């Protein structure tokens, strides 16, 4: 079992606490002049996304989390699981709804996604920062309006709804920033 | 920043010159070290001319022992601005090599020394008023909700877990008290300007006398400004037998923790046997004071070359 000592704590380090994998966001070394040293960390639970603060005695060890970040190709959804494939090894992985979370709104078949694997199981699926998706439904824009001010709702092929400028029409393909959920341009 | 440091050092020297406190210099390296289990000295080696076998020497973690030897030899009240070195300490408020202001006042008790710390800081920190003075146990009761003297280990542990502490396998109540103070009282201290915490628990007496009125507490104080631990002072322990016993206890703690025991400073113990006059002393972190004066967040910003680039 690999372990990390508190002196190896730095942001991004992943370890197990109470059976859940955590990633360190911030680590502060605390040492009263005449007292014992400890580490105060802000950590994110990689399963729930919840951020908590913990305090460790300096010199204590924690169990390293077998967490790997990799790029997988999205294949299909069988109604219960979202299936991904490693394009090199062709190995397939099934991600739960909790793991894909918000990424569901943006990914379509054959998209490459960043996937965090914990003990070989998908823990977090991240949509690419930018995706290009076809518009399946939106109100026809006003003739002659090219300013883009205001905008209107549009439904994408994945089912997500975003705001687009008035000149964008059904069946057009648009570029979307998945982090903000905002329209970027026509693709 | 170099100019700001220079003017701070000048102001400190002027303050003590006005009060007839003598500036001294003492050795930075020694063949002995402070065995305090919570402080880890840096070690080097010294060869006598012609010898190929270096003997271990230690960089001072504070100038305390040398300065007390001067006091025992009749120096009168003294101060020193010097570098101190502590292994394993690096962070926002810690550089492994740092500047200490340490001073001793003959015939002062720790309350008189608190007055002087206040006078110095009111002069050095713009807008700083006299510090609030609060007992350790009172703060512990208000902010951690536990009576320092009667709380059981189980209660301390439960409170610490609630505060997000990952309890180590070999947990000691002393450690739980220290960490609870930091986690529960610390956030309050951060919202205050100057606060002097006094009557530390006897387990954290370090080199101070136990109170004659209440032996559960030690005549030790700390000065916090906006939560930053700025100074630590003692009504100094003058009993050489008690000092030797405490050193032994610290070395035993080191042994249990798997650390090497450190050679005791026999010159210092002899000086105590010869007689240390009744006095109080305090050490103040000059880099942290400069941080507060300049309003910066990290100690590296007030150093010419922080440790990573030293």
| CATH code, B297 | 3.30.930.10
Residue B161 in any domain: the answer is no
Residue B7 in any domain: the answer is yes
Query: Whole-model pTM?
Result: 0.79
Nearest to A30 among B164, B182, B204 (CB): B182
Model confidence at B306, in pLDDT bands (50, 70, 90)?
very high
Domain tally for chain B?
1
Residue B235 in any domain: the answer is yes
| Contacts with A133 (C-beta within 8 Å, 6 or more apart), sequence order | A106, A108, A156, A157, A158, A160, A173, A174, A176
CB contact under 8 A, B166 and A55: yes
Residues of chain A neighbouring B175 (CB-CB closer than 8 A): 36, 57
Pair of tokens at residue A114: 């960043």
Domain housing B231: 2-131+194-309
Residue B112 in any domain: the answer is yes
Model confidence at B224, in pLDDT bands (50, 70, 90)?
very high
Span A18-50, pLDDT tens digits: 889 999 999 988 888 888 888 999 999 988 888
Q: What is the distance, to the nearest Å, from the Cα of residue B215 to the centroid of all Cα atoms in its chain? A: 21
Residue B159 in any domain: the answer is no
pLDDT at residue A146, rounded to an integer: 57
Span B66-117, pLDDT tens digits: 999 999 999 999 999 999 999 988 889 999 999 999 999 999 999 999 999 9
ipTM of the assembly? 0.79
Nearest to B175 among A7, A31, A36 (CB): A36
Span A66-75, pLDDT tens digits: 888 889 999 9
Q: What is the mean pLDDT of residues A59-84?
A: 89
CB contact under 8 A, A34 and B39: yes
Residue B117 in any domain: the answer is yes
Span A5-22, pLDDT tens digits: 988 898 888 999 988 999
Mutation target to probe the A interface, by most A beta carbons within 10 A, among B88, B94, B166 is: B166
Query: Average pLDDT, whole number, for chain B?
Result: 93
Span A125-172, pLDDT tens digits: 888 889 999 999 988 866 555 555 678 889 998 888 998 888 888 899
CB contact under 8 A, B36 and A33: no
Residues of chain A neighbouring B164 (CB-CB closer than 8 A): 52-55
Q: What is the DSSP string of chain A?
A: --EEEGGG--TT-EEEETTEEEEEEEEEEE--TTS--EEEEEEEETTT--EEEEEEETT-EEEEP-EEEEEEEEEEE-SS-EEEE-TTT--EEEE-HHHHGGGGGT--TT-EEEEEEETTEEEEEE--SEEEEEEEEEPPPPTT--S--S-EEEEETTS-EEEE-TT--TT-EEEEETTTTEEEEE-
Residue B257 in any domain: the answer is yes
Q: What is the mean pLDDT of residues A108-117?
A: 88
Picking from B293, B258, B14, the residue whose alpha carbon sits closest to that of residue B126 is: B293
Residue B155 in any domain: the answer is no
């Amino acid at each position: 079992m690999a372990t990390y000592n508190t002196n190896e704590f730095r942001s991004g380090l992943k370890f197990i606490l109470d059976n859940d994998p955590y990633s360190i966001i911030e680590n502060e070394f605390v040492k009263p002049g005449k007292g014992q040293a400890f580490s105060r960390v802000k950590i994110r639970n990689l399963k729930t996304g919840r951020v908590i603060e913990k305090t460790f005695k300096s010199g204590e060890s924690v169990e390293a989390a077998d967490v790997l970040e990799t790029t997988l190709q999205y294949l299909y959804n069988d109604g219960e699981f979202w299936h991904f494939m490693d394009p090199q090894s062709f190995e397939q992985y099934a991600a739960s709804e909790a793991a894909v979370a918000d990424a569901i709104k943006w990914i379509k078949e054959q998209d490459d996604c960043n996937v965090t694997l914990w003990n070989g199981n998908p823990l977090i699926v991240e949509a690419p920062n930018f995706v290009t998706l076809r518009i399946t439904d939106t109100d026809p824009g006003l003739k002659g309006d090219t300013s883009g001010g205001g905008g209107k709702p549009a439904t994408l092929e994945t089912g997500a709804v975003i705001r687009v400028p008035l000149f964008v029409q059904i069946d057009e393909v648009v570029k979307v920033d998945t982090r903000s959920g905002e329209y970027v341009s026509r693709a | 920043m170099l100019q700001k440091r220079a003017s701070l050092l000048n102001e400190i020297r002027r303050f003590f010159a006005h009060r007839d406190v003598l500036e001294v210099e003492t050795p930075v390296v020694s063949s002995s070290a402070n065995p305090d289990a919570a402080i880890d000295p840096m070690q080097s080696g010294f060869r006598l001319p012609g010898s190929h076998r270096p003997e271990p020497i230690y960089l001072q973690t504070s100038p305390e022992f040398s300065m007390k030897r001067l006091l025992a030899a009749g120096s009168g009240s003294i101060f020193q601005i010097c570098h101190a070195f502590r292994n394993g300490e690096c962070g926002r408020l810690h550089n492994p090599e740092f500047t200490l202001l340490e001073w001793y006042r003959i015939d002062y008790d720790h309350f008189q020394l608190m007055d002087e710390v206040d006078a110095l800081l009111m002069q050095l920190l713009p807008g700083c008023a006299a510090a609030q003075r609060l007992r350790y146990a009172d703060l512990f009761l208000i902010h951690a909700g536990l009576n320092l003297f009667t709380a059981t280990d189980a209660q301390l542990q439960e409170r610490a877990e609630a505060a997000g502490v990952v309890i180590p396998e070999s947990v000691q109540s002393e450690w739980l008290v220290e960490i609870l103070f930091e986690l529960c009282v610390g956030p309050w201290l951060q919202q205050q300007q100057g606060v002097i915490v006094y009557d530390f628990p006897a387990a954290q007496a370090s080199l101070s006398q136990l109170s004659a009125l209440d032996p559960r507490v030690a005549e030790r104080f700390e000065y916090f400004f906006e939560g930053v631990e700025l100074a630590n002072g003692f009504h100094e322990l003058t009993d050489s037998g008690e000092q030797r016993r405490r050193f032994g206890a610290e070395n035993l703690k080191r042994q249990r923790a798997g650390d090497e025991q450190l050679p005791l400073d026999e010159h210092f113990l002899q000086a105590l046997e010869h007689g240390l006059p009744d006095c109080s002393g305090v050490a103040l972190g000059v880099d942290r004071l400069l941080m507060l004066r300049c309003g910066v967040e990290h100690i590296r910003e007030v150093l010419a070359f922080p440790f990573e680039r030293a």
